[in-house]
Structure 1
Amino acid sequence: MLYLITDTYLGHQNMLKSCGRPARFTNLILDNCRKMVRSNDTLIHLGDVVWNEEELMRFMKLPGHKVLVRGNHDKKSTPYYMEAGFDLVVDSMMMTLQGIQILFLYVPQYGHTADINIHGHQHDLHYEDVFHRYWPLALEHMGDKPLPLDDKTVGVLQSWGKRGRNPSKKEIYALHQGYLGAATTRDYIGNTKAAMPKPLCFWADDGTEHMVGNDDAACFHYHTGCIFLAMQRDIFEQQLGEQTYTAVQLPWEGARFTQPYRIIEQQAGTVRSESSPFASNMVLCWFHVAGFAGK
């Protein structure tokens, strides 16, 4: 049997405040792993395992084979983790199960070419790239225990891929991540609102300019190749609307941002109030960008 776990941060007391974990969360996670994982099972850890060497030694004494997909806090050398007892240590891993290609990473890889990307890191269940399949894992939603990657689970992942769209929050919660109950705002739009030093400027295909500033967006994220905006429906209709955009000027200084980026794909989807924590309809907007637009 394969099991998945992520972002355990064993021994890191800041998790009590930042993620609302119980005071004895380290022992709780270790106890749950001990109860579920058998000696012939494999536990894939998607990164950020421990905060000190003592807790690493406790983790390595658990039953089962162990694979580490490095997180940003797993800074020791590969030989260090191998000598501690991991069977495999990688930065990313591709696996084919029941005919679907699964990419395992700590952080989501926007624009990936696998059938689905399973990742951790965010401590919530939102995704910013609707053009590819993702399964975000959050230990808090998993009930501080490993998640089985069994035939039934893989079958659900297959069904998500066949219909050509990402799962709803309800479907993600139903697949082993319903411990915290109903979806929160954070699970829809993420944990942070990146302040923009100046508004985003979008160019529509008719040549008109459309500005989006801090007061317009409930949330704004930018990753290489991907812009994500969450906006109330009325503001979205005023500022952007149902138009096709060809370029965007990102709001930062520096050589990377001197010219507008070319928009190669865009999509907007509405999260309706009856199935979400929002007081009114929220529009989630995604833009894939690549190279300079030459404006």
Structure 2
Amino acid sequence: MIYFTSNMHLGHEAVIHMCNRPFKNVEEMNQVLIHNFNSIVHKNDTVYLLGDATHRISLDEANDLISKLNGHKIRIRGNHDKKYDKNLFEGIYDFLELKGYCSTSISLMHYAMPEWPKSRHGSIHLHGHQHNGFEYNMQMKEQGIKRYDVGVDGNAYFPVSLNRIFEFMEVEK
């Protein structure tokens, strides 16, 4: 299975208040986010981390938290990411275009782009960065824009499967 997530901000106490997250402290947030992640992502799954996995913690602590996440991790750099241990990832990119999962391409970047490769021909853009609620994804769909925020804040604090995104966007597999 293939999953996507962003903006976990593991270790970042202030994000709880800044984004109205339902956690009493950073330890609870870290525990819940890692549990949610590992409850659906298994060791042989692939997960694309679209930036900001951690924030405001030491590199050693960041690497330790990321090492607890299941799956084959592919990193798309975010604005708060550190120079994590590259051995934790099977690939590290600023931008990545996926082809072959459906009849269209999927553009991955931490930031939301107004246009992306083949955006006028039905391709999909997945991003993070903005800490949107799910309403944003609904607005994009209603406007006919195939852009989806995979950040935890708008996805019940879980990664999102490629199948779920295809269903939401009504893309033929």
Q: TM-score, normalised by structure 2?
A: 0.79
Shift of 1:34: 1.6
Q: 1:35 aligns with which of 17, 33, 39?
A: 39
Q: Is the 8 A contact 1:111 1:131 kept in 2?
A: no
2 CA distance for matches of 1:103 and 1:136?
A: 12
Q: Is the 8 A contact 1:106 1:121 kept in 2?
A: yes
Distance 1:110 1:131, change over 3 A: farther
Q: State percent identity of aligned pairs.
A: 26
2 CA distance for matches of 1:93 and 1:110?
A: 16
Distance 1:13 1:104, change over 3 A: same
Q: 2:146 aligns with which of 105, 126, 133?
A: 133
Shift of 1:153: 3.5
1 CA distance for matches of 2:15 and 2:112?
A: 21
Q: For residues 1-295 of structure 1, what are the structure 2 equivalents within 5 Å?
A: 1-21=1-21, 22-23=23-24, 24-51=28-55, 52=57, 53=59, 54-76=61-83, 80-83=84-87, 85-96=88-99, 97-114=101-118, 115-124=123-132, 125=136, 133-150=146-163, 153-159=165-171
Larger RCO (CA under 8 A, 6+ residues apart):
2
- Residue 140 of structure 1 aligns to a residue whose secondary structure is helix
Distance 1:34 1:155, change over 3 A: closer
1 CA distance for matches of 2:170 and 2:85?
A: 33
Gaps of 5+ in 1: 161-295
What value does the CA root-mean-square deviation take over the aligned residues?
Answer: 2.1
Gaps of 5+ in 2: none
Aligned residues: 153
Shift of 1:133: 2.6
Q: Specify which structure has the higher proportion of strand.
A: 1
Residue 124 of structure 2 aligns with an amino acid whose one-letter code is: I
Q: Which runs of 4+ in 1 moved over 6 A?
A: none
Residue 32 of structure 2 aligns with an amino acid whose one-letter code is: L
Q: Specify which structure has the higher proportion of helix.
A: 2
Q: Which moved more, 1:8-17 or 1:67-76?
A: 67-76
CA distances 1:28-74 after superposition (whole Å, capped 9, x unpaired)? 00011121111110111110011223143122132210011111111
1 CA distance for matches of 2:113 and 2:66?
A: 27
